[in-house]
Structure 1
């Protein structure tokens, strides 16, 4: 018997459509160096490590009649070269060209008849650099049974350790009749399987009823001439186009702002996002028309035995925060964001950022995936924006000897959302990955520019304030340095 999907995972599959694909993605840029880094080297590396994530060689198998939830089974036709693909930019390729390629690739849903992941080696970047784009479905990476493949590919040293490719052989697939008998047997032997099936059927009925109500409202609105499209710049019915924007900034800037105004680096990052959203919204409407707050969900790492355990040593819980986009003062915005997280800090459940950053491998890719799952389970009307913010290691990592010089998350869009923001800190940098609906938000690059301006605005306040050293931390000199900069090759 393969591992069966839980009801929440079946719901994710049910919500997927060509306009709302349910996968997470990551873009990593490597400096090949003397060892070189190309398609064949990556194939060898994955073949050596894929045994640590066995689900990456499994596909979904549905059960006729819905007698049980789909299960993971070995793919007898698994072909690593199908999942790992080669692409190139016209030399010398720019980051803007790379983002356009990434936007096209992440717009396409994954093939459900295959294992639910893809990886692209993109050559031709200026300076001889190579980009690696990975896509993995939200039901694939759960942090419990499976971590992200990217977590096991990276090493702390340029000298990779050979772990030895396994002699994997797929199990023989069951016949349609065998699948039915197995589902019935599982339901009789395991009450949890039967309970999950009942919950899945109930959830399907409720979703169908909700879809019928929305369709009826659209029909009535069409007859009466009332507008049915979601309002606001960050809410929209999806098209099949995606626009990906990346912004690279210096971690030191956030630390200096924190040391002067208090709070945490996470608070400063969210205040920067708030300021960026404010600046971008003002380009659309100078008054914001009473649009004073954006309700965001920011998944956070906690220690809580009542939540589903993960293999990363902590659980992920949703935290809702009102981003004060209507507030003109950058310092007041920062204090309001800090206050919203104070209650979470005082619970004692929070996990320190340095602990997360010290997890073996490159855990941010897995944390982003789990965070997106948690956000998707909260309901489309509970918030307006998803922000996944994950601290990573502050020393260089390597793949097959090539140094990773930059990494950007590419979060999925949730139903009804036109924007999503992912943030990853790595080796002295803080990288923002913005995913936007290309048809609804054609000026997503302006939002990227507004993020750098919002960070500059906070940096400008350093000389105007007296440093406030956090407990146990010495007061540094408040020195203004260059602003956040967009990544350049």
Structure 2
């Protein structure tokens, strides 16, 4: 059975995972049932999805370890898919409120995926008072990042109410229900050969990349006559920020538990774009300003607002346009979100300055950051480090570089349909971590920005309140900027 080995970046999400820190990402798809629909939408969706499962290759692969876990694991084909495990249904009890739905999502998202199977699971949720249904879909981050997730969406959704024709799966890819497969037996000789070969390839890649990295660094330190080299200016910015990039202590800087809280909220994309245009900012800067306003109010009311501004970890996609490979291509930056500034318009100006400097730092040295790594025993050693870090409670004591994760994922601008049902909203569900117990991810869909706030339940038990403040902060910022 042929293996497709994970890169160091992809495999790191496996090593970071503990019972307290599941490393899957998920989404909520709200939909309206097709007009006149009768019967079980779960069974209807199951038949629809089963006919398209083969178009998402990663959904038919499972993990296989290397010899003695000396190197990164690989993906291998799973011959039989147990759809009773991967596709499930649940119904909300009366009255079927949004708060009840968010409670269910918090519980589902706290459960780790079974590593003996393909790393994904879907739930059809019905019983909402407004008659809508919800698809909760989670996939392990080792298999997919936000950009590649959009490629999966292309296989799941249609742009018309009538699903498009999809070529049937080859006979060997037909799915059914079987017992979980036994762990793969790895040939020790072949396993050892592969491990040594991979280590050698990694070393060769480093040597091959050295001239390009050196060239990038040299160009960064060269300048036109009368101008400062880009890297020197960047380093000056970084040095000037060092005293402030020690994040202040907040309730979010804590060792997290196995429990999750969740909230989904929506604001207008058109209003947000108008704020960006009027202020000369990027859409992501406006999102950061909205989050900064909500976090300021939330912490202020609890008497826990620091004098220093909170710092957000902001993921940056390294994916080139048109690249639909289902792997992780991400980096990140740290940005102050001006929670110490009361005026919404002034807060946006401060964030614009901080984010511009952070992007410059990330961009200057982007090509010098390796996107893969390998060393003997990585699966065991890195997993051990994460277990010790979580069990020791060091996140409660050590200084942290950030307080919260804030991520912005562009989504489809046109209406979508899933199994003939009209999609009304797409909300992300993401990953909190030790020391950053709150993750705010936003995805655009048509004329909406859909927020998903995922948190540790102990650190942020009232995440719905913070979600309400996000909506109010957006309105305050629109008014303060004075958009047309």
Question: Is the 1:303–1:349 contact (alpha carbons within 8 Å) kept by the matching residues of 2?
Answer: no
In structure 2, the residue matched to 1:6 is 7
In structure 1, the residue matched to 2:22 is 21
In structure 2, the residue matched to 1:185 is 193
Structure 1, residues 37-78: CA drift from partner, whole Å, max 9, x if none?
811222222222222222211111123422432111222442
In structure 2, the residue matched to 1:162 is 165
Judged with a 3 Å threshold, the aligned counterparts in structure 2 of structure 1 residues 253 and 57 are, in CA distance, closer, same or farther, namely same
In structure 2, the residue matched to 1:276 is 294
CA distance in 2, matches of 1:153, 1:89: 24
Question: Is the 1:143–1:310 contact (alpha carbons within 8 Å) kept by the matching residues of 2?
Answer: no
CA distance in 2, matches of 1:234, 1:330: 22
User: Structure 1 residue 330 and structure 2 residue 331: aligned?
Assistant: no
In structure 2, the residue matched to 1:238 is 256
CA distance in 2, matches of 1:236, 1:314: 26
Structure 1, residues 348-401: CA drift from partner, whole Å, max 9, x if none?
989xxxxxxxxxxxxxxxxxxxxxxxxxxxx99442221110122222111121
Query: How many residues matched?
Result: 399
Question: Is the 2:12–2:142 contact (alpha carbons within 8 Å) kept by the matching residues of 1?
Answer: no
Residue 458 of structure 1: how far off its partner (Å): 1.2
In structure 1, the residue matched to 2:372 is none
SS in 1 for 2:435: coil
Q: Which of 236-245 and 9-18 deviates more? A: 9-18
* Aligned mate of 1:430, from 449, 453, 456: 449
Judged with a 3 Å threshold, the aligned counterparts in structure 2 of structure 1 residues 174 and 63 are, in CA distance, closer, same or farther, namely farther
In structure 2, the residue matched to 1:475 is none
SS in 1 for 2:356: helix
User: Structure 1 residue 296 and structure 2 residue 312: aligned?
Assistant: yes
* Aligned mate of 2:117, from 114, 117, 123: 114
Judged with a 3 Å threshold, the aligned counterparts in structure 2 of structure 1 residues 144 and 380 are, in CA distance, closer, same or farther, namely farther
In structure 2, the residue matched to 1:34 is 35
C-alpha RMSD of the superposition: 3.4
Judged with a 3 Å threshold, the aligned counterparts in structure 2 of structure 1 residues 299 and 96 are, in CA distance, closer, same or farther, namely same
CA distance in 2, matches of 1:391, 1:431: 10
User: Structure 1 residue 394 and structure 2 residue 408: aligned?
Assistant: no
Question: Is the 2:256–2:434 contact (alpha carbons within 8 Å) kept by the matching residues of 1?
Answer: yes
CA distance in 1, matches of 2:315, 2:128: 33
Judged with a 3 Å threshold, the aligned counterparts in structure 2 of structure 1 residues 442 and 137 are, in CA distance, closer, same or farther, namely same
In structure 2, the residue matched to 1:223 is none
Residue 121 of structure 1: how far off its partner (Å): 0.3
Residue 35 of structure 1: how far off its partner (Å): 6.7
CA distance in 2, matches of 1:50, 1:386: 32
SS in 2 for 1:318: strand
Question: Is the 1:24–1:411 contact (alpha carbons within 8 Å) kept by the matching residues of 2?
Answer: yes
* Aligned mate of 1:266, from 254, 277, 284: 284
Residue 133 of structure 1: how far off its partner (Å): 0.1
Gap runs ≥5 in structure 2: 175-180, 205-247, 365-397
In structure 2, the residue matched to 1:153 is 156
CA distance in 2, matches of 1:88, 1:236: 33
TM-score relative to the length of structure 1: 0.73
In structure 2, the residue matched to 1:451 is 470
In structure 1, the residue matched to 2:209 is none
Structure 1, residues 132-166: CA drift from partner, whole Å, max 9, x if none?
00011111115799876434101111121121331
Question: Is the 2:253–2:434 contact (alpha carbons within 8 Å) kept by the matching residues of 1?
Answer: no
SS in 2 for 1:246: strand
CA distance in 2, matches of 1:26, 1:66: 31
CA distance in 1, matches of 2:318, 2:67: 39
CA distance in 1, matches of 2:274, 2:10: 41
Question: Is the 1:187–1:193 contact (alpha carbons within 8 Å) kept by the matching residues of 2?
Answer: no
Residue 193 of structure 1: how far off its partner (Å): 6.2
Judged with a 3 Å threshold, the aligned counterparts in structure 2 of structure 1 residues 264 and 63 are, in CA distance, closer, same or farther, namely closer
Residue 419 of structure 1: how far off its partner (Å): 0.3
CA distance in 2, matches of 1:408, 1:233: 24
